[in-house]
Structure 1
Amino acid sequence: MRWIHCLAVGALGLALAACTTSPTGRSQLALMSDDQLDRMGAQAFAEYQQERPTVGGAPYRLARCVTDAIVATLPPGARDGNWQVRVFDDDSANAFALPGGYVGVHTGLMEIAETPDQLAAVIGHEIGHVLARHANERASTQTATQLGLSVVSSAAGLEGPGGEQVMAALGMGAQYGILLPFSRRHESEADVLGLRLMADAGFDPRASVALWRNMSRAGGGQPPEWMSTHPSHGSRIAGLEAELPRVLPRYEQARRAGRTPSCD
């Protein structure tokens, strides 16, 4: 069993060596390079454009205007290059941002977001994911979890039908006890970063609460929060409202500095 011990120690050493800090000060595991993620982002964005028609005109100009205003507030390294923006003809209320500088917005979301400020709440949230390197952290956590389960399986000699059942149970425990809560933590952190970004760009962060109330009224069932990668609408609204007193001064400062984006 000595090799198993060495493998576990080596995995721990790799994890410790790959620890970074998120923009909110939280420790992260990052096993992939930024170049790798940027290439993956470019490939995913190209494939997405092949699968869905894009929309120009006023919807594109609105999404472009909001994105440009937010990107202008990013740290120098994050705003380098030209962020690509596309509006996709899709009824689902969705948007995303990818490593490398790519933003996609569905027309279904633009029907729910009633103002540019509400749209900025979503785009800021999605860019917050990129800024916090959540894609890297999620992939790294999944890799480390799979490695850990392999070590447990080898160390315990879990072979045969009985062992497969135990490993399946362990896998479910990892999914609901580690990976899904980890994703909810990402969503909550992106909410905080999104509020900061939209406030710094001159968009009213109070619009984020109005947006999520719109989303809640729009319907659509949600799984129990412990089984979901996203917080419930109620939890998300409560978190946003709790953060508003800390970001409203940033918004007021941005307005005094002349950051008043006109994206109508």
Structure 2
Amino acid sequence: MNVSKNDEQVVARKAGGLNPAVIIPILLVLGICIWLFVLGSPSNFKADPRLGGGSVAFSDVEGKDLHPEGFMGMIYMGGVIVPLLVTFMITVIVFSFERYFVLNKASGAGNVDNFVVKVRSLLNQNKVDEALEECDRQQGSVGNVVKEGLTTYKALAHDTTLNKEQKMIALNKAIEEATTLEMPMLEKNMMILSTLGTVATLVALLGTVIGMIRAFFALGASGGTPDAAALSIGISEALINTALGIGTSAVAIILYNFFTSKIDGLTYKIDEIAMSIQQSFAEFH
């Protein structure tokens, strides 16, 4: 019966947050649409003045005689790798917001440090019921673990079938299980930020290589007379992909480390108060 309850709690925590299998394909479609209809908008391009200039239509954007008129047009000229890099950037932003709200919720109501200090103070006075009330008010991951530990604390305090050493082992096990149940919710989707921190750079490198290949191909096809326009397009494609990839990777790594530090902070608070629970039980029981 206990195993079934624990399994239900694990499923509930794993179900929290966004589902990458659903969200990432949607973001990929969004990235492609941004590349085609926002970055590739005719308003971001101008026709070659040597050919008379004039307005540009969507059907003309792929023409060789069009030149980007602004920064968005320049990004569009980065080629087919750009939609992937745009998707990566959107994914980093979306899952960063998701982690921010989830971890804020996990931190609970009020200041976690004050909660830990208050509960430790109550435990030093053996006021377990008051400490449980504080957990109900805290409503976060730390409060959930502490509440489970204190509930076990009360049950073991009235248990006459176990000796003190066995009670300490049971208490420690209950706290460890409660902590393990909270971790999936805290760490979910962190792997996405970690992966994009590396993959974005590699995909950008692919786009850079493709752009340089185009530049050298244009140089070779010109028969010794460099085509400045073709060369500039190839080199621009290479640099645009590099810039997008490095920027996305940098943001992903910074945010990953930021959220990791928050998770480590919550874990440390759990360990700190768990030790107080064990010390209080050893002292009073």
- TM-score for the superposition, normalised by structure 2: 0.28
* Larger RCO: 1 or 2 (CA < 8 Å, sep 6+): 2
The structure in which a higher percent of residues are helix is 2
The structure in which a higher percent of residues are strand is 1
Which of 1 and 2 has greater Rg? 2
- TM-score for the superposition, normalised by structure 1: 0.29
